[in-house]
Amino acid sequence: MKRTFTGFFILETVILVAAVILLGITAFSYRKREIDIVTVNDYAQTVKEQWRDGSLDTDALPDARLMILGPDGEVLYRSDDKTFEGISSELDAIRKNMFCIPVTDYDRFLGTIVIPNPAREDYEHVIARILWTTAAIIAVIAISYVMFIWYVNRNVVRPFSRMKEFAAQVAQGNLDEPLLIEKNNMFGLFTESFDLMREELKASRNREIALKVKEKELVATLSHDLKSPVAGIRVICELLEAKVEDAYIHGKVETIRHKTEEMNVLLSDLLSTTLEDLGELNVNLSEVTSDILNKMVEEHDTKKKAVAQPVPGCVLCIDQNRLSQVIGNIIGNSYKYADTEIEVSYGYRDHYLEMKIHDHGEGVDEEELPLLTNKFYRGKKSAADKEGSGLGLYISAELMKKMNGQLILSCEGGFTATLLLPLA
């Protein structure tokens, strides 16, 4: 880079020095020529001799550059070159700095000879050469500057612009596009270092993503493995409740069973959200009859608090297992936060079967409703004294979207969760 600019300035200095020398040579080549008086007298004598009877014999005039004006100022003769163009009187000739020599025959005025001033002509020629030389020098300097600007733009500005765009892409997280390294690029080492940085950042990000995936897989594996002993504890509790008659022990066993159910719900939520982050929270849609809905409610209504209306006969396009998980989350939340009677009703809305699950608890504030389906969000009234992860309604809403349905939450005399189930 430094060598390039140094070389350019040396070149420009050489051009300027050469230009000054050339202009000096051109200017000092001017040598002022004086008019030859003898030649002028010869011209005058010849013209005088050819002036006969008031007319001029132009055929016998000397082969020289001159113009002859008559006694009344009329042009009698003009040489064939362009020297006398635009001159038609003595005044015009004087303005052009030419010599005007009168021709007389004793006391009779015959006319005027106009002869160019050689000093003036030489001066004009020198000025013309200086102008042409100056124009040529300016053109050479301009071309050199244009070439230098093109060179700088190609080898400095453009590489810097590409590196700037590349840095912006890296800042936005786009690490897949390499930085092109051109031949003869003076910033080749910089661009290569930038591209090595990109590759290292990409490798580091891939390692981070792989580590996060392994962490999520570990959480999913542990959540899945923990569900088995939790299920075993629940079975043992049910067995003890059936066998033990002591009221005190029976109450403790029931408490253990309830805590086990809560733990099972938390593990299910944790497993579901982990699988979603891994891209494995999938749904498999199939056509099923609507009579399975009340069976799902009965399956999850362990406290027998739900009162369900008859289900309209229709065919749904859903994932049966995922819908059962959604209904279980909603009923479990109703147990936890309301612990009142649950009403289940049905109806049609456009191309959906509408399933409403309503309890008579305090519900939540109106401004909180849109937030309940956010990941890890818990209502203000429940966060302090109720256990939970804030994932149940989030997972339920995501599963309903994947089944082309919708989960709608509202509070009118309690808390209502409306499921829009797509019809087949």
> Which of 106-120, 238-252, 285-299 is modeled with the greatest confidence?
285-299
* Predicted local confidence at residue 260, as pLDDT: 80
Q: Confidence class of residue 377 from pLDDT cuts 50, 70 and 90?
A: confident
Q: How confident is the model at residue 356 (pLDDT cuts 50, 70, 90)?
A: very high
pLDDT at 164 over 80: no
Given pLDDT bands bounded at 50, 70 and 90, which one contains residue 405? very high
What is the rounded distance in angstroms from the CA atom of residue 246 to the CA atom of residue 248?
Answer: 6
Confidence label for 67 from pLDDT (cuts 50, 70 and 90): confident
Tell me the mean pLDDT in the region 68-91: 82
Residue 145 reports pLDDT greater than 70? yes
Torsion, Cα 393 397 400 401, to 10 degrees, reads -170
**More confident position, 365 or 7:** 365
- Residue 29, pLDDT score: 63
What are the tens digits of pLDDT across the range 184-198?
566 666 667 777 777
Angle subtended by helix axes 392-402 and 247-277, to nearest 10:
50
Taking residues 146-152, what's their average pLDDT?
A: 81
Q: Which residue has 């070159």 as its token pair?
A: 81
CA separation, residue 181 to residues 1, 158, 196 (Å): 17, 12, 12
**Cα-based distances in Å from 65 to 73, 80, 116, 146, 292:** 18, 8, 7, 47, 124
Location of structure tokens 């700095």: 97
Outline where DSSP puts E strands in 286-371. Answer: 286-289, 306-308, 315-318, 342-349, 352-359
Summarize the confidence of residues 222-237 as an average pLDDT: 70
Is the pLDDT confidence value at 385 over 90?
no
- What's the rounded Cα separation, in Å, for the pair 59 and 49? 12
Confidence of residue 207 (pLDDT cuts 50, 70, 90): confident
Mean of the per-residue pLDDT values for the chain? 78
Whether the pLDDT of residue 100 is over 90: the answer is no
- For the stretch 275-307, pLDDT in tens is 666 555 678 899 999 999 999 998 888 888 899
Beta-carbon contacts of 388 under 8 Å, excluding residues fewer than 6 positions away, are 266, 336, 378, 382
Contact 265, 227 (CB under 8 A): no
More confident residue, 53 or 421: 421
Give 265-274 pLDDT, tens digit per residue: 777 767 666 6
Alpha helices in 29-117 (DSSP H): 37-49, 90-95
Instruction: Choose the most confident range, by mean pLDDT, from 50-59, 238-247, 281-290.
Output: 281-290
- Pairing of β 51-52 and β 55-56: antiparallel
CA 236 to chain centroid, in Å, comes to 63
d(CA 224, CA 124): 104
Average pLDDT of the residues in 37-52: 74
Q: How far apart are CA 170 and CA 165, in angstroms?
A: 9
Q: Greater confidence, 5 or 153?
A: 153
Q: Is the confidence at residue 369, as pLDDT, over 70?
A: yes
Examine the pLDDT at 235 and tell me if it is beyond 90.
no
For 201, 209, 278, 284, 374, the CA distances from 205, given in Å and listed in that order, are 6, 6, 17, 32, 27
The number of beta carbons lying within 10 Å of the beta carbon of residue 308 is 19
328 contacts 292 by C-beta, under 8 angstroms: no
Is there a contact between 81 and 65 (Cβ–Cβ < 8 Å)? yes
Residue 181: pLDDT above 70?
Answer: no
N- to C-terminal Cα separation, the chain:
71
Alpha-carbon gap, residue 339 to 360, rounded angstroms: 8
Instruction: Tell me which of 27-31, 217-221, 382-386 is least confident.
Output: 382-386
The answer on pLDDT for 180 being more than 60 is: yes
Q: Crossing angle, helix 320-337 and helix 292-300, to 10 degrees?
A: 40
- Averaged pLDDT for residues 327-331: 88
Which of 49, 100, 58, 94 minimizes the C-alpha distance to 76? Answer: 58
